[in-house]
Amino acid sequence: MKNTALQIGKAICYVLLFLGCQVLTSFIVQFAFGLKIGFEMSVTGEVLNEQELIARMTELLMASINWITMLSGIVTILFLLVFFKIRKQRLANEANLFRFEKVYILPLILLGAAFAMFVLCMLNFLPLPESLLESYAEASSWLNTGSILSSILSTVITAPIVEEIIFRGLVLSRLKRVMPVWVAVFLSSLAFGVVHGQLLWIAYAFVLGIVFAIVAECTKSTAASVLVHMVFNLVGMFGGYLGITETWQILLAVVVSAAVMAGTLSYIIKRKKTAA
């Protein structure tokens, strides 16, 4: 019982660390922007009311959201590196960042791309409430602010690495020590979904978390789930430019992507059973 509470407590602490680094980084950046605006006002003599000040601050934050995300991810990793160094452990070992067989690379890439297209098409196809879609579009637009370089560095590289280390590498592995694997997968995926905040993000991030966990478990490597995550985010960023708008195109993309997802997941699971 004591060990169960200990491992669950560790898992919760890793999630709180992830969220805490985001909050702390955002606070520091907001403080820096506040100083910047204050300095500019003192130099130019410009006077801003409360609403104008909030609008200016919001504009600066939105333009820098990718860099904030990237910075918070770096802070998280640095903290973990120092933490495990003090404990004379290696983050790579604790987070299961091991090499995986090269034969998995193509299926993992196809899985990530297919899942991204499936989500994109289903969101356009399902009869979801307009308010929910507007909220999702507004939240998603934050990720497209700034340069393409900052979006790629933040969304395609930093976020997948940090999130997989936290949720599949550390949270899932700790939960597995004291509960059945399927329960650990469910809880870690639920936490992964919840931290995304927006309702649609929570829904499909939960499902994604389960897929990423299956990949990590079958390949025995969090590095494999990082690859799928990176491809998913990359295709998600640029998939909208494919011009899939007609109903028949959306249906075809849903069917094809679902088939690819099923095929690649089946291959990955079967290969694990064969290897075992």
Q: Give the percent of the chain with pLDDT over 70.
A: 92
Q: What are the pLDDT digits (tens) for 154-187? A: 999 999 999 999 999 999 999 999 999 999 999 9
User: How confident is the prediction for the chain on average, in pLDDT?
Assistant: 87
Q: Is the dihedral of CA 181, 111, 254, 138 positive or negative?
A: positive
Given this model, what pLDDT does residue 42 score?
A: 77
Which carries the bigger pLDDT value, residue 134 or residue 25? 25
The predicted pLDDT at position 137 comes to: 67
Q: From CA 226, how far away is CA 215, in angstroms rounded?
A: 10
Tokens of 148: 């393409």
pLDDT of residue 51: 79
pLDDT of 174 reads 94
Q: Cα dihedral angle (179, 81, 73, 163), rounded to 10 degrees?
A: -20
Residue 209 in this model has a pLDDT that exceeds 80: yes
Which residue has 């064969």 as its token pair? 274
Task: Give the whole-angstrom CA distance, residue 244 versus residue 251.
Answer: 10
- Report the pLDDT value the prediction gives residue 125, as an integer from 0 to 100: 72
pTM of the complete model: 0.90
Q: b/e map of 72-89 (b: 16 or more CB within 10 Å)?
A: bbebbbeebeeebeeeee
Could you tell me if 221 and 97 are in contact, meaning their C-beta atoms sit under 8 angstroms apart?
Answer: yes
Q: What is the pLDDT of residue 141?
A: 62
Residue 72 reports pLDDT greater than 90: yes
User: How confident is the model at residue 143, as a pLDDT?
Assistant: 61
Q: 3-7, 11-15, 237-241 — which is least confidently predicted?
A: 237-241
Residue 258's contacts (CB-CB under 8 Å, 6 or more residues apart) are: 114, 118
% of the chain residues with pLDDT over 90: 55
CA distance 126 to 263: 24
- Tell me which residue has tokens 């006002």: 41
Residues 100-121: tens digit of each pLDDT:
999 999 999 999 999 999 988 8
User: What is the reported pLDDT for 138?
Assistant: 65
Distance CA 23, CA 18 (A): 9
